[in-house]
């Protein structure tokens, strides 16, 4: 008898493909396996879902208001329940792999092989009707809709339902990996783009360009299949990638980076970068990682609805602001965690500095000068929105003076911009250069935490943190100063909820919380697995707006180390 393989739209096939990609180190082989799989997905909907999952996201950017929001502790409980396992068993597998999805695969496989009957019929016999990609996506969608009281219980129930339909342990693994943003199958976005190009016989340059604008590889894959890459374009209510700035160390060095004089110089605001989209009266705000953050700032949404103009995309920065002055960045971060709801406690202002789209036209290719003229001709309805402070400058002296002014007023420095430059999504080019004049900081992720001493007994106030190196995390230091009591109390709660292993005084936690740390120097050290340690590290702030994908890497650590005049 011929054993039929899984149909292309089955989630089983997706899981097997991911395993095959992970199993080979050859880039060419990875691209080959993936492109064949993508080409085999004849339904556009399936193609979009598979590519979205492969890009490490649960949903295509901008299409869903709330993320699925399934925490480690929820998954852990479900896994313990459906596999009838004790915490220590799951912990052992977790430590072996470092991700919960792979741990679950092993737990299930072990339970099956020991056939102790405790798996509550977890894995169906083969050839039964199996889960499809769209069914998995549908479950994820339902998870995202489950909010409010008892939502965690409901989510656990939905997850149990989802897991009861798998036919291979690897499917359970990838469900968890997708939900926890831990795909880690050795597939960076570049390779995914190459596979899409190969699957549909397009050039990698065309795919990349479309993806920079659309910021949604799933959508780009469909366009590629139908020969419609040229239709990749901006559209209000769908996020695009943000243009990034280069660094200038001094006013003189910054000035030399520009080809033509004068330039526009603007205050650098210390807040949350955000696109504001408006179409047919609807408003959406997207943060740097393309998450929909509209619900956190209802007063800005309401204010933007009052703008006469419609069909537009602004680029700007949301800052904490009151009585003509910037307030602490921490207040704003606490609004992202919904700790502060009230616009009274943490009032904001949206500082607009660019216009990417207006009334049916993309302005990406227009020179900055023209975009500025257009955006500043619009009337803003209330104090909740304003334009960034902007001036023409033509010498290092003028830049220095404006820099001091910006710092004196409580802003972060300057961003200087070329008048003739286009807006290049996702690129860090020489057309925008920032001047901060401070010791470098590192964005790191917390991987372990300890209880404090003295007045900090009972709260988790010591954080061990890491930077990335390829797919790995390398520890570079430990810090306990810089946070307020309120922030430490928030962190204590988060650390407890993301604990992977509790050793009493110390907890290994899921790498999730991003910190920005300042330090006096970087030294070589065998204390940590990175081979480096930060000297006198202090936490500048918690970055709830950043995710683990955006932390700094070992390259940057080494670069700062090399640049130090005195090596320690």
- For residues 123 and 263, which CB has a smaller minimum distance to ligand AMP in the complex? 263
Quick note: the x/- pattern for ligand AMP over 83-102, rule CB under 6 A, is --------------------
What is the spatial distance between Cα 59 and Cα 53, in angstroms, rounded to a whole number?
8
Q: Give the CA distances from residue 109 to residues 136, 179, 472, in Å, rounded to whole numbers and listed in that order.
A: 21, 20, 26
- For residues 317 and 462, which CB has a smaller minimum distance to ligand AMP in the complex? 317
The number of C-alpha atoms within 13 Å of 181 and in the hemisphere containing its C-beta is: 13
Binding of ligand AMP at residue 444 (CB under 6 A)? no
Binding of ligand AMP at residue 415 (CB under 6 A)? yes
- For residues 138 and 262, which CB has a smaller minimum distance to ligand AMP in the complex? 262
Residues 484-543 that bind ligand AMP (CB under 6 A): none
Binding of ligand AMP at residue 162 (CB under 6 A)? no
**Torsion angle (degrees, nearest 10) of CA 287, 290, 292, 297:** 10
Given 13, 177, 268, 278, the catalytic residue: 268
CB-closest chain residue to ligand AMP: 273
Work out the end-to-end distance of the chain between its first and last CA atoms, rounded to an integer number of angstroms. 70
Q: Cβ of residue 403: shortest distance to ligand AMP, in angstroms?
A: 13
Residues 249-278 that bind ligand AMP (CB under 6 A): 266, 268-269, 273
SS3 state at 164: coil
Residues 226-245 that bind ligand AMP (CB under 6 A): 245
Q: Cβ of residue 176: shortest distance to ligand AMP, in angstroms?
A: 32
Binding of ligand AMP at residue 388 (CB under 6 A)? yes
Binding of ligand AMP at residue 51 (CB under 6 A)? no
Q: Is 567 among the catalytic positions? A: no
Binding of ligand AMP at residue 434 (CB under 6 A)? yes
- For residues 59 and 350, which CB has a smaller minimum distance to ligand AMP in the complex? 350
Instruction: Note if the bond before 372 is cis, omega within 30 degrees.
Output: no
SS3 state at 461: strand
Please tell me the total number of residues recorded for the chain in this structure: 568
- For residues 32 and 437, which CB has a smaller minimum distance to ligand AMP in the complex? 437
The answer to whether the CB of 320 falls within 8 A of the CB of 326 is yes
Q: Give the CA distances from residue 6 to residues 14, 23, 313, 360, in Å, rounded to whole numbers and listed in that order.
A: 10, 20, 43, 44
Q: Cβ of residue 472: shortest distance to ligand AMP, in angstroms?
A: 24
- For residues 266 and 418, which CB has a smaller minimum distance to ligand AMP in the complex? 266
Q: Cβ of residue 381: shortest distance to ligand AMP, in angstroms?
A: 21
SS3 state at 314: strand
Q: Give the residue, chosen from 292, 317, 490, 545, that forms a contact with ligand AMP under the rule CB under 6 A.
A: 317
Q: Cβ of residue 225: shortest distance to ligand AMP, in angstroms?
A: 33
What is the spatial distance between Cα 219 and Cα 494, in angstroms, rounded to a whole number?
34
Q: Cβ of residue 434: shortest distance to ligand AMP, in angstroms?
A: 5
Q: Cβ of residue 475: shortest distance to ligand AMP, in angstroms?
A: 24
- For residues 143 and 327, which CB has a smaller minimum distance to ligand AMP in the complex? 327
- Picking from 358, 377, 365, the residue whose alpha carbon sits closest to that of residue 421 is 365
What is the spatial distance between Cα 560 and Cα 546, in angstroms, rounded to a whole number?
22
- Picking from 384, 179, 402, 431, the residue whose alpha carbon sits closest to that of residue 274 is 384
Give 207-240 as a DSSP string.
HHHHHHHH--HHHHHHHHHTT-GGG---BTTB--
The answer to whether the CB of 275 falls within 8 A of the CB of 239 is yes
What is the spatial distance between Cα 268 and Cα 355, in angstroms, rounded to a whole number?
17
- For residues 75 and 415, which CB has a smaller minimum distance to ligand AMP in the complex? 415
DSSP single-letter state for residue 38: H
Q: Cβ of residue 556: shortest distance to ligand AMP, in angstroms?
A: 12
Q: 3-state SS of the chain: helix, strand, coil percent to 5?
A: 40, 25, 40
- For residues 169 and 271, which CB has a smaller minimum distance to ligand AMP in the complex? 271
The three-point CA angle 328-320-417 to 5° equals 100
Handedness of CA 548, 289, 184, 560 (dihedral sign): negative
Residues 351-380 that bind ligand AMP (CB under 6 A): 353
Q: Cβ of residue 316: shortest distance to ligand AMP, in angstroms?
A: 8
- For residues 435 and 488, which CB has a smaller minimum distance to ligand AMP in the complex? 435
The neighbouring-strand residues paired with 450 are 462, 506
Q: Give the CA distances from residue 567 to residues 74, 120, 528, 534, 552, in Å, rounded to whole numbers and listed in that order.
A: 46, 59, 18, 12, 21
- For residues 141 and 387, which CB has a smaller minimum distance to ligand AMP in the complex? 387
Q: Cβ of residue 242: shortest distance to ligand AMP, in angstroms?
A: 6
Give 263-299 as a DSSP string.
EEEEEPP-SEEEEEEEETTEEEEEETT--B-GGG-HH
* Token pair listed for 279: 């179409």
Q: Cβ of residue 279: shortest distance to ligand AMP, in angstroms?
A: 23
The answer to whether the CB of 418 falls within 8 A of the CB of 368 is yes
DSSP single-letter state for residue 445: E
Number of residues binding to ligand AMP, judged by CB under 6 A: 10
Quick note: the x/- pattern for ligand AMP over 327-356, rule CB under 6 A, is --------------------------x---
User: Could you list the residues that contact ligand AMP (CB under 6 A)?
Assistant: 245, 266, 268-269, 273, 317, 353, 388, 415, 434
Residues with a catalytic annotation lie at 268
């Amino acid at each position: 008898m011929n054993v039929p393989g899984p149909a292309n739209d089955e989630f089983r096939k997706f899981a097997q493909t991911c395993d095959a990609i992970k199993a080979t180190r050859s880039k060419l082989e990875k691209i080959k396996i993936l492109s064949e799989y993508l080409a085999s997905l004849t339904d556009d909907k399936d193609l979009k879902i598979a590519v979205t999952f492969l890009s490490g996201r649960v949903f295509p950017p901008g299409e869903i208001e709330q993320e699925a929001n399934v925490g480690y502790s929820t998954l852990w409980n479900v896994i313990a329940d459906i596999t009838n396992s004790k915490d220590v068993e799951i912990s052992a597998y977790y430590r072996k792999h470092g991700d919960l999805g792979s741990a679950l695969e092993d737990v299930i496989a072990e339970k099956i092989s020991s056939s102790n009957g405790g798996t509550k019929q977890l894995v169906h016999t083969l050839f039964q009707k199996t889960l499809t990609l769209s069914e998995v996506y549908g479950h994820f969608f339902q998870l995202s809709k489950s909010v409010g009281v008892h939502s965690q219980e409901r989510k656990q129930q939905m997850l149990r339902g989802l897991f009861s339909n798998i036919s291979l342990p690897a499917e359970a693994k990838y469900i968890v990996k997708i939900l926890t943003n831990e795909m880690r199958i050795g597939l960076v976005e570049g390779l995914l783009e190459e596979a899409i190009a190969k699957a549909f016989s397009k050039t990698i340059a065309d795919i990349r360009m479309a993806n920079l604008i659309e910021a949604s590889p799933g959508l780009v894959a469909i366009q590629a299949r139908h020969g419609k890459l040229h239709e990749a374009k901006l559209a209000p209510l769908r996020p695009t990638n943000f243009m990034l700035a280069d660094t200038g160390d001094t006013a003189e060095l910054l000035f030399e980076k520009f080809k033509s004089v004068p330039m526009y110089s603007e205050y650098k605001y210390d807040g949350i970068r955000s696109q504001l989209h408006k179409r047919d009266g609807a408003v959406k705000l997207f943060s740097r990682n393309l998450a929909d953050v509209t619900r956190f700032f209802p007063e800005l949404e309401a204010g933007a609805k009052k703008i006469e103009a419609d069909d537009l995309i602004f680029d700007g920065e949301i800052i904490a602001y009151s009585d003509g002055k910037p307030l602490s960045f921490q207040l704003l971060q606490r609004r992202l965690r919904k700790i502060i709801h009230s616009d009274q406690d943490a009032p904001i202002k949206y500082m607009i500095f660019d216009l990417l789209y207006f009334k049916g036209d993309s302005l990406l290719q227009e020179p900055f000068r023209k975009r500025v003229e257009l955006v500043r001709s619009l009337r803003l309805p209330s104090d909740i929105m304003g334009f960034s402070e902007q001036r023409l400058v033509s010498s290092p002296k003028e830049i220095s003076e404006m820099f001091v002014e910006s710092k004196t007023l409580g802003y972060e420095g300057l961003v200087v911009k070329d008048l003739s430059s286009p807006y290049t999504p996702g690129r860090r080019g020489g057309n925008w250069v920032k001047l901060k004049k401070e010791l470098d900081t590192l964005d790191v992720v917390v991987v372990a935490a300890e209880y404090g001493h003295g007045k900090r007994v009972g709260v988790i106030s010591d954080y061990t943190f890491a930077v990335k190196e390829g797919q790995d995390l390398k520890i570079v230091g430990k810090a306990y100063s810089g946070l307020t009591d309120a922030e430490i109390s928030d962190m204590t709660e988060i650390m407890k909820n993301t604990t992977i292993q509790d050793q009493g005084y110390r907890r290994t936690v899921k790498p999730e919380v991003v910190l920005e740390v300042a330090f006096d120097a970087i030294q070589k050290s065998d204390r940590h697995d990175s081979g480096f340690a930060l000297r006198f590290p202090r936490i500048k702030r918690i970055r709830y707006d950043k995710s683990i994908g955006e932390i700094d890497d070992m390259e940057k650590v080494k670069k700062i180390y090399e640049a130090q005049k005195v090596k320690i």
